[in-house]
Structure 1
Amino acid sequence: MLVKTFGSAVFGIEAITITVEVNIAAGTKFFIVGLPDNAIKESYFRIESALRNCGFRMPRQQVVVNMAPADIRKEGSAYDLTIVTGVLAASGQIETENLDKYLIMGELSLDGGLQPIKGALPIAIQARKDGFKGFILPKQNAREAAIVNDLEVYGVESIKEVAGFFNGDMQLTREIVNTREEFYDSLCNYDSDFSEVKGQENIKRALEIAAAGGHNVILIGPPGAGKTMLARRLPSILPPLSLYESLETTKIHSVAGKLAAADALVTVRPFRSPHHTISDVALVGGGSNPQPGEISLAHNGVLFLDELPEFKRSVLEVMRQPLEERKVTISRARFSVDYPCSFMLVTSMNPCPCGYYNHPEKECTCPPGAVQKYMSKISGPLLDRIDLHVEVTPVNFNELASDRLAEKSELIRERVIAARNIQIERFGDKPDLHANSQMSPQMVRDICKIDLAGQTLLKKAMEKLGLSARAYDRILKVSRTIADLAGSEEIKLEHLAEAIHFRSLDREGWAG
């Protein structure tokens, strides 16, 4: 008897429906064809054990399983439930009447229980597009898939429930999630706040500018000055995610298997902080079975690289193209996948190996040339993509002991949103452009115009401070953001001066 069930394969953050054909005929062996990987070939042992432990029988005939389209490679153990449902139907143990109305996915345990799968959200979206009535999957993934409207989602815990459902002996409980309510209830729900940071007003101001224009930042200062603490609070002043951004971010985390069972949506901007021992593949994504990397998991949020010079140079260099294009393409011989990676890069570092170069109180103990050698670990092209260079100084005792409450993230975020709204209006005819940091050189010339006094100031700054040519466009972009924060249509001298102040590493002689 021939029976068809339906599963799905995930490529990048999109899904493709897979038809699983099961045919039982005279013979004795079990075959799986259609470009399955080893995990799928091993499913026979999981299926046989699960059926036996749940009171079903494994057919002692020839079972041929075909996964179509046959030219697409199928990977992972998530097809176990799709295959076992087909085997039960083909052997007459469950009814076949409604099989074609549901997409079925799940990994089997030997006792017939189900393990969670990756990519439930993109699979559910594709199931709705393809006109399926419902989606049956492990209970752990049910909330994630249920945010898709007009699709019945049923979370199950074992194959007994699936068999009972198709035989009409059992009613499954439909998982229902109010997407908008879920989204708005936990929007901007951050654990940390800028009001907890004592002092460091100059650094807070720099991060406010960065958040307002989507600029990349590098924080340079001695150990214990608060670089990491400040960076971790940056998402709390970024504009809230839109529902579209939330869904897009959730799809990436779903594919990577990073969503908890209790989560349906990613409602706050991601903050990713990989260790400096990370490999280039783990950072940008890839592998034999391509998975999104840290830069994609930080999509619509912040990627924080602590102790930047400690990262391998090859790891840092692979970020250069994704920083510009805001997507990364993983290419293989037979296919390629795209992962979005529009993130703010925030990095921190000590100014030298001992950490106390330019410290107001402690003396640097590094030998001559060590500071320059330490700084040279970061390439010029990477620094070229960082708009704000911020020197962080230690907080003195009086500020630490003060009871004065600092400004809350909520108040800073309101100013950032106002500046972003100005930019949204400015780039209204360019849907791919959202912030000042994304402007092309030609747009900088057209939008960031300065008067004669401003040109004179910028010329003197570049000559006296020894600023490099690459700093020119960056200064104009940042000054445009500062003007937006001030609600000014024109870039004034004070906006330009503040932007020049945040180009420390471009100054000749900064590193000795």
Structure 2
Amino acid sequence: MLVKTFGSAVQGINATIVTIEVNVSQGIRFMHVGLPDNAVKESHERIASALEYTGYKLPRKQIVINMAPADIRKEGSAYDLPLAIGILAGAETVKSEESERFVIMGELSLDGSLQPIKGVLPIAIKAREEGFKGFILPKQNAREAAVVNNLDVYGVENITEVIDFFNGNSTLEPTIVNTREEFFTNLNLSEIDFADVKGQESVKRALEVAAAGGHNIIMVGPPGAGKSMLAKRIPTILPPLTLHEALETTKIHSVVGNIDSNTSLISQRPFRSPHHTISDVALVGGGTFPQPGEISLAHNGVLFLDELPEFKRTVLEVMRQPLEDRKICISRAKFAIEYPASFMLVASMNPCPCGYYNHPERDCVCAPGVVQKYLSRISGPLLDRIDIHIEIVPVPFEKLSEMKDAESSEAVRDRVMKARQVQEQRFKDVDGVYCNAQMSSKQMRTFAQIDKASSELLKNAMQRLNLSARAYDRIIKVARTIADLDDSEQILSNHIAEAINYRNLDREGWAG
């Protein structure tokens, strides 16, 4: 008997429905075609053990399984459950007309219980688009899939529940999640706050500007000055995720299996802080079995690279294109996958190997030329793509010990959101641009014009600091953001002056 069940394959962050055709007929062969990988081929042993343990038998007949479309490679163990149900439906143990109305996914244990799988959210979205009645999957993944409305999501613990459900011997309760209510309930939950940071008012101002315009920023300062502490609090001053951004972010984390059983939708902006020993592929994505990298996992959030010069140069250079295009395309001989990568880059570094160059109290012990050599580990083109360079000095004891409360993240976020609303209105007719950092040169001529006094000030800075054309654009973009924070329609000379001040690493003689 020929029957069909339906699973799904995830490519990039999108899913494709896979039709599993099972033909059970006279004979003794078992054939599995349709480009399955080794994990899918091994499902035969898991299915046989699971069925035997739960009181069923693998049919002693010829079983031919085809997984269409056959030109897409089927990877992983998540096809165990649809294959098992297809075999039982072909043997007329399960009612096939019922099983064909559902997308089914799940990894089988030898005792018939189900293990969680990856990529649930893209699969659920595709199932709804294709008009399936429901989605049957492991219970641990049910809340994640239930984010998708107009689709019945059934979380099950073992294969017996699925068989009884299709045969009408029992019912399954659909998992229901009030997406909007849960999203808005968890939107502003955060254990850290800018109020925890004593002093560093100039740095906080720079971070506020960076958050308001979506600008990349690098902090340079000695050990213990508070670089990491400040970076970790940047997500608390960024505007809250929209429901669309939350869904897009959750899809990426779903593909790599970062969603736990109690989470349905990511409601906090991601903060990713990879170690400096990270490889190129781990940062940008790809590999033998393509997965999103750290830059994609930081999509709609913050990518923090602590001790930037310690990262391998090749790792840093592969970020240059994603920083400009806000996406990464992984191209191989047989496929090309595109991952979103719209993130805010926050980097930190010591000014020199010993960490105390330009320190107000401690002497630098580095040999002549070492400071410049240390800074040169970061290429000029990458530094040019970082809009704001800010120098941090240690906080004096008087600031650390004072009891006065510092400004909270909520107060800073209110100003950031007000500036973002101005930008949203400004770019409402421009596709793909949502903040000042994303403006092209053409859009800058329209939305970021400067007056004669500002132009003269910028000209002098360009000549004295020997800035590149890209740095010129960055200064104007940052000045546009500063003007937005000041609720000014025009970019004034004081806005340009503050933006120039945020190019510390471009100053002549800074590194000796």
Write the distance in 1 (CA, Å) between the matches of 2:207 and 2:75.
43
Residue equivalent to 1:9 = 9
Deviation track 1:84-111 (CA, whole Å, cap 9, x = no partner) reads 0011111122222311111100011111
Deviation track 1:271-322 (CA, whole Å, cap 9, x = no partner) reads 0000000000000000111110000000000000000000000001111111
Residue equivalent to 1:114 = 114
Query: Is the 8 Å Cα contact of residues 468 and 506 (structure 1) preserved in structure 2?
Result: no
Write the distance in 2 (CA, Å) between the matches of 1:71 and 1:454.
59
Residue equivalent to 1:217 = 217
1:334 partnered with 2:334: yes
Alignment of 1:73-472 (within 5 A): 73-472=73-472
Structure 2 unaligned residues grouped into runs of 5+: none
Write the distance in 1 (CA, Å) between the matches of 2:497 and 2:327.
33
Query: Is the 8 Å Cα contact of residues 385 and 470 (structure 2) preserved in structure 1?
Result: no
Write the distance in 1 (CA, Å) between the matches of 2:29 and 2:351.
67
By how many angstroms is 1:466 displaced? 4.3
By how many angstroms is 1:256 displaced? 1.1
Write the distance in 1 (CA, Å) between the matches of 2:341 and 2:415.
25
Write the distance in 2 (CA, Å) between the matches of 1:422 and 1:490.
13
Write the distance in 2 (CA, Å) between the matches of 1:186 and 1:12.
27
By how many angstroms is 1:469 displaced? 4.1
Structure 1 range deviating more: 462-471 or 483-492: 462-471
Write the distance in 1 (CA, Å) between the matches of 2:25 and 2:466.
81
Deviation track 1:203-261 (CA, whole Å, cap 9, x = no partner) reads 11000000000000000000000000000000000011111111010100111111111
Q: Which amino acid aligns with 2:158?
A: S
By how many angstroms is 1:37 displaced? 0.4
Residue equivalent to 1:23 = 23
By how many angstroms is 1:488 displaced? 0.4
Deviation track 1:148-194 (CA, whole Å, cap 9, x = no partner) reads 11100000010010011011111111100011111111112122100
By how many angstroms is 1:82 displaced? 0.5
Write the distance in 1 (CA, Å) between the matches of 2:102 and 2:475.
56
Identity %, equivalent residues: 66
Write the distance in 2 (CA, Å) between the matches of 1:319 and 1:459.
30
Write the distance in 1 (CA, Å) between the matches of 2:494 and 2:508.
23
Q: Which amino acid aligns with 1:318?
A: V
SS state of the match for residue 339, structure 2?
strand
Write the distance in 2 (CA, Å) between the matches of 1:392 and 1:469.
26
Query: Is the 8 Å Cα contact of residues 479 and 499 (structure 1) preserved in structure 2?
Result: yes
Write the distance in 1 (CA, Å) between the matches of 2:98 and 2:442.
58
Write the distance in 2 (CA, Å) between the matches of 1:80 and 1:441.
52
Structure 1 range deviating more: 448-457 or 345-354: 448-457
Deviation track 1:53-76 (CA, whole Å, cap 9, x = no partner) reads 111111112111110111111111
Query: Is the 8 Å Cα contact of residues 30 and 64 (structure 2) preserved in structure 1?
Result: yes
Query: Is the 8 Å Cα contact of residues 239 and 417 (structure 2) preserved in structure 1?
Result: yes
SS state of the match for residue 209, structure 1?
helix
Q: Which amino acid aligns with 1:485?
A: L
Query: Is the 8 Å Cα contact of residues 194 and 406 (structure 1) preserved in structure 2?
Result: yes
Write the distance in 2 (CA, Å) between the matches of 1:439 and 1:320.
17
Query: Is the 8 Å Cα contact of residues 471 and 506 (structure 1) preserved in structure 2?
Result: no
Residue equivalent to 1:64 = 64
Write the distance in 2 (CA, Å) between the matches of 1:485 and 1:500.
17
Write the distance in 2 (CA, Å) between the matches of 1:331 and 1:244.
27
Structure 1 unaligned residues grouped into runs of 5+: none
Q: Which amino acid aligns with 1:486?
A: D
The alignment's C-alpha RMSD in Å is: 1.0
Q: TM-score, normalised by structure 2?
A: 0.99
Q: TM-score, normalised by structure 1?
A: 0.99
Write the distance in 2 (CA, Å) between the matches of 1:134 and 1:50.
24
Query: Is the 8 Å Cα contact of residues 7 and 18 (structure 2) preserved in structure 1?
Result: yes
Write the distance in 2 (CA, Å) between the matches of 1:92 and 1:440.
62
Residue equivalent to 1:486 = 486
By how many angstroms is 1:453 displaced? 1.6
Write the distance in 2 (CA, Å) between the matches of 1:404 and 1:462.
40
Write the distance in 2 (CA, Å) between the matches of 1:333 and 1:502.
43
Q: Which amino acid aligns with 1:353?
A: P
Query: Is the 8 Å Cα contact of residues 273 and 305 (structure 1) preserved in structure 2?
Result: yes
Deviation track 1:297-352 (CA, whole Å, cap 9, x = no partner) reads 00000000000000000001111111111111111222211110100000000000
Write the distance in 1 (CA, Å) between the matches of 2:450 and 2:122.
47
Q: How many residues align?
A: 512
SS state of the match for residue 261, structure 1?
coil
Write the distance in 2 (CA, Å) between the matches of 1:471 and 1:42.
55
Q: Which amino acid aligns with 2:286?
A: G
SS state of the match for residue 309, structure 1?
helix
By how many angstroms is 1:463 displaced? 3.2
SS state of the match for residue 497, structure 2?
helix
Is the alpha carbon distance of 1:307 and 1:203 closer, same or farther for their aligned partners in structure 2, counting shifts above 3 Å?
A: same
Query: Is the 8 Å Cα contact of residues 221 and 350 (structure 2) preserved in structure 1?
Result: yes
Query: Is the 8 Å Cα contact of residues 468 and 507 (structure 1) preserved in structure 2?
Result: no
Deviation track 1:21-69 (CA, whole Å, cap 9, x = no partner) reads 1111222232210000000001111111111111111111211111011
Residue equivalent to 2:55 = 55
Q: Which amino acid aligns with 1:114?
A: L
By how many angstroms is 1:467 displaced? 3.9
Write the distance in 2 (CA, Å) between the matches of 1:62 and 1:332.
37
Query: Is the 8 Å Cα contact of residues 252 and 297 (structure 1) preserved in structure 2?
Result: yes
